[in-house]
A and B are shown apart, each in its own frame.
Chain A
Amino acid sequence: MKNDIVHLDVQDISLSFGGTQALLNVGLDVYQGEILAIIGPNGAGKTSTLNCISGFYRADRGDIFFEGQDITRTPTHKIAEFGIARTFQNIALYTGLSTLDNLMAARHVHMKSGMLGCMLYWGFAHRENIEHRHVVEEIIDFLEIEHIRKAVVGALPHGLRKRVELGRALALEPKLLLLDEPMTGMNLEEKEDMARFILDIHELQNTTIVLIEHDMGLVMDIADRISVLDFGRKIAEGTPEEIRDNPAVIQAYLGQEY
């Protein structure tokens, strides 16, 4: 499980758009095999942080290291090849494809056939398709979405789409999984399922997970550590118990509730 190796090292990144400072000197150490939750008010820079890690935004200042490699300026699509996968706040599936093809599409970085190979298909590309289908079926089985294997995802209900999106991230066989509000808009039962999947991924694959979530009960239950952002700055970090009692966090985010 969790150990002391720093898996992802975000060093004082800053980011601004259109005059608004989205992030200011945010630093994060994510240890190998831990679940780190990032919480904070809306607009505090949580998604921007994930966007910088996954290469969708470029930090104006600061560096990001993953497994010791500097990925600050790595092209976006290469970052996935390093083993960083993510899900999105507003579901971003390939709406016209089936569940199966969504997952197969995420095997992209693990597949090899090039343009010519795909045009000819028989032989390598065919064998490769079958080989990766095994991996994908395993994930489908794990997430209990067999019944929607060949359903076009655009028409699925919200909860299932969230689950397929998690499956698509898993199909990348990530070493680091970034989850952006995986449980928004879910009811209690769906949230329990999702929590179970996240914990299982964590236990079975020892995947490092960074999670943004607003449901404090859930975050407190499943996270090893929590980072709190406010106005683009990190205001606290620690175990759930420490965060729960941190006056700055209560003042900026939690209110008197917890």
Chain B
Amino acid sequence: MLRVNNIEVIYSNVVLVLRGVSLEVREGQIVTILGANGAGKTTTLQAISGLLLSQEGEITRGSIELGDTRIDHRPAEDIVQLGIIQVLEGRRLFGHLTVEENLAIGAVARGHNRRMIAEDLEQVYRYFPRLKDIHRRISGYLSGGEQQMLVIGRGLMARPKLMLLDEPSIGLAPLLVQDIFQAINQINKESGIPILLVEQNAKIALEVADYAYVMETGRIVLDGPADQLAENEDIKEFYLGLTQVGERKSYRDVKHYKRRKRWLG
């Protein structure tokens, strides 16, 4: 349903961050993009969601299609109206609004009426019962896990056709990461919303995803069904931190600093 065809992105007219990225998300799939910091994962999401424009970025080549419509060079608001919802990195929420107000924003932005908002709230509370308990709390005081639930819930309120999730696990405890990914999986399986997931935590991402792409310095270097990639030797070594024999390498075994002579005085 979503096709990114060979796009190139330039920031502030000088910095080339994406050099020909192509990828595809099919109906009902969870697709993940893995890669190091600065590889261009977030930029890819922003190119799709139209947020590049507000970051002084520009798609200079290639195209992005949702179904049969081209959506590159459209502003972010229009793309949301088409049903592509991006959940930004870092659990960003409207800290001075209540939980329920935060959720409502997701629907208000798509012009839903009060009845639709009430229906959708029920659905979000079904996925995240914790949010119902705290629906009147000021969201700035929530814990990291609750905030992550809230921002995903806000995305759901917009009745998305496709969700883009940017690093939902960042800075979360292992247990919470599992909870969040379980919820992501459940949302995908029950409501069939396809999800494009950008993630540092390669292990868990490969567990839930159907298909995965690996990015390095603005290029897709590897792609394939998630279960196959999880068995790939390079992925094992560089993304899962395992040694040749499958043992984890210890951080204590890295080379150390040697003091050098300084020549300036």
A-facing residues in B232-264 (Cβ within 8 Å): 238-239, 241, 248, 250-252, 254-257, 259-260, 262, 264
The answer to whether A218 touches B251 (Cβ under 8 A) is yes
* Chain A, range 93-134, C-beta contacts under 8 Å to B: 134
Once the chains bind, are B176 and A42 in contact (CB under 8 Å)? yes
- Write the nearest CB–CB distance from A122 to chain B, whole angstroms: 19
Q: Within 8 Å CB of B141, what residues of A? A: 17-18, 20
Selected from B171, B200, B248, B255, the residue in CB contact (under 8 A) with A196 is B255
Within 8 A of B (CB), among A20-66: 20, 39-44
* B144 touches which of A43, A195, A217 (Cβ 8 Å): A43
A residues within 8 A CB of B144? 41-43
> What residues of chain B lie closer than 8 Å to A255, measured between beta carbons?
174-175, 178
A81 within 8 A of B: no
Assess the B173–A196 pair: CB atoms within 8 A: no
Question: A41's contact among B38, B143, B239, by CB below 8 Å, is which?
Answer: B143
**B239:A159 contact, CB within 8 angstroms:** no
User: Who on chain B is nearest to A201 by CB?
Assistant: B257
Tell me whether A252 and B143 are in contact (CB under 8 A): no
> Given the complex, which residues of A lie within 8 Å of B257, measured CB to CB?
142, 196-197, 200, 204
Assess whether B146 is interfacial by the CB under 8 Å rule.
yes
Within 8 A of A (CB), among B158-185: 170-176, 178
When the two chains form their complex, are residues A253 and B251 in contact, meaning their CB atoms are under 8 A apart?
no
Q: For B146, give its contact among A43, A159, A216 (CB under 8 Å).
A: A43
A193 CB to closest chain B CB (Å) equals 8
Tell me whether B171 and A254 are in contact (CB under 8 A): no
Q: 0/1 per residue, A218-258, Cβ < 8 Å to B?
A: 10011000000000000000000000000000001111011
Contact A217-B175, Cβ < 8 Å, known A137-B262, A141-B262:
no
- For residue B145, CB closer than 8 A to chain A, the reply is yes
Question: Does A92 touch B at the CB level, under 8 Å?
Answer: no
Chain B residue with Cβ nearest A42: B144
Name the distance in Å between B16's Cβ and chain A's nearest Cβ: 15
Q: Is the CB of B251 within 8 A of A257?
A: no
Assembly CA distance A42 to B180 (angstroms): 13
A interface, size bucket: 35 or more
Residues of B with C-beta under 8 A to A158: 37-38
A185 touches B170 (CB 8 A): yes
A12 — which chain B residues lie within 8 A by C-beta?
Answer: none
* A190 and B37 contact, CB distance less than 8 A: yes
Cβ of A186 < 8 Å from any Cβ of B?
Answer: yes
Q: Return chain B residues, CB-CB under 8 Å to A254.
A: 174-175
Residues of B with Cβ closer than 8 Å to A? 36-38, 138, 141-146, 170-176, 178, 200, 238-239, 241, 248, 250-252, 254-257, 259-260, 262, 264-265
A sample of 7 inter-chain contacts (CB < 8 A) reads A40-B173, A41-B143, A42-B172, A157-B37, A196-B257, A199-B251, A218-B251
| 16 additional contacts (CB under 8 A) given A185-B170, A254-B174 | A41-B144, A41-B173, A42-B143, A42-B145, A43-B146, A142-B257, A157-B37, A193-B254, A195-B251, A197-B257, A204-B257, A214-B173, A216-B174, A222-B251, A222-B252, A257-B174
